[in-house]
Amino acid sequence: MTVPLAHDLRGDGPLLVLVHGITENRRSWDPLTDDLARDHRVLRVDLRGHGESPGGDDYGVAALADDVAAVVAQAAPDGPAPLLVGHSLGGMVVTAYAAAHEARGVVNVDQSLDLAPLQAGVQAQADNLRGEAFPAVVSALFTSMRGPLSDDEWARLEALRRPDQAVVLAIWGLLLDTGPVELEAAVDAMVDGITAPYLALDGVDPGPGHAGWLAKRIPQAQLEVWDGLGHYPHLVEPERFLGRLRAFEASLGEG
């Protein structure tokens, strides 16, 4: 069952959906929204258990994606398929969305779909994540991925971040409660059927083998690495990101 998501709509033009990362909310996109709303109808959502949205019983990525699809159906019932942009957890959500629903294109910002390295790190901290050390562990994780984000922008994100232990543990259940083989099967199932153009834009180099790993699962995917920008490349270099997003969107009408 879908959860009604808090959301907002701004601007006019083709529908563009923005999906935030874990513990954050739709306000994480504030620095980019005004510019995007000049030539798009921008839909921003709070995922279930985040921001102003209620929680739910299921925090699997398919359930999160179906929530977003329900808002899209409400916002644009007769319109063309949306262009989807997701950061971090949002990158997984828009990927799952494109596998199950129609999408004009997908931009995944710094969320590797090869979850094995993340699984190893999360499982190493399993006891701390499930205990009283949860806030410190999550804070340290985000700090480690900050990159060259400005002090002001980091403070803004820190102020809107709400690490709900139950929600984070539910979302990371796939990482905490499975082995590598089961995890790989779940990822393969998540991406199965994606035909939309796909751009993976990473601020941290995912390693030399990742391009082949991604191409095996999403053959049409483009992988672009802005190495050294950390987990928030879209906020470290917003003008560059906006230009790249519009260039990707322009390519969707070609071929």
| Residue 1, in any domain of the structure | no
The answer to whether the Cα torsion of 97, 102, 108, 113 is positive or negative is positive
pLDDT digits (tens, 9 = 90+) for 53-109: 999 999 999 999 999 999 999 988 888 899 999 999 999 999 999 999 999 999 999
Whole-prediction pTM value?
Answer: 0.97
3-state secondary structure of 60: coil
> Structural domain tally of the chain?
1
Radius of gyration of the chain (CA): 17
One-letter amino acid at 53 equals S
**Residue 76: per-residue pLDDT:** 86
Q: What is the mean pLDDT of the chain?
A: 96
Q: From 142, 17, 21, select the one nearest 83 (Cα to Cα).
A: 17
How far is C-alpha 141 from the geometric centre of its chain's CA atoms? 17
Lowest-confidence region among 71-80, 217-226, 236-245: 71-80
Residue 147 lies in a domain: yes
Distance CA 118, CA 116 (A): 5
Tell the burial category of 235 from Cβ atoms under 10 Å away from its Cβ (0-12, 13-18, 19+).
buried
pLDDT digits (tens, 9 = 90+) for 173-193: 999 999 999 999 999 999 999
Task: Flag whether 175 is in a domain.
Answer: yes
Residue 2, in any domain of the structure: no
pLDDT at 254 over 80: no
Q: By residue range, what is the domain housing residue 205?
A: 7-251
Q: Are 31 and 238 in contact (CB under 8 A)?
A: yes
With respect to residue 96, please indicate whether it lies within any of the assigned structural domains.
yes
* Residue 233 covered by a domain: yes
Q: What pLDDT is attached to residue 77?
A: 84
Determine the average pLDDT of the residues in 123-127: 95
What are the tokens at 210? 């990742």
Cβ(84)–Cβ(98) below 8 Å: yes
pLDDT at position 150? 97
| Domain contains 52 | yes
Q: What is the CATH classification number for the domain harbouring 201?
A: 3.40.50.1820
**pLDDT score of 255 more than 90:** no
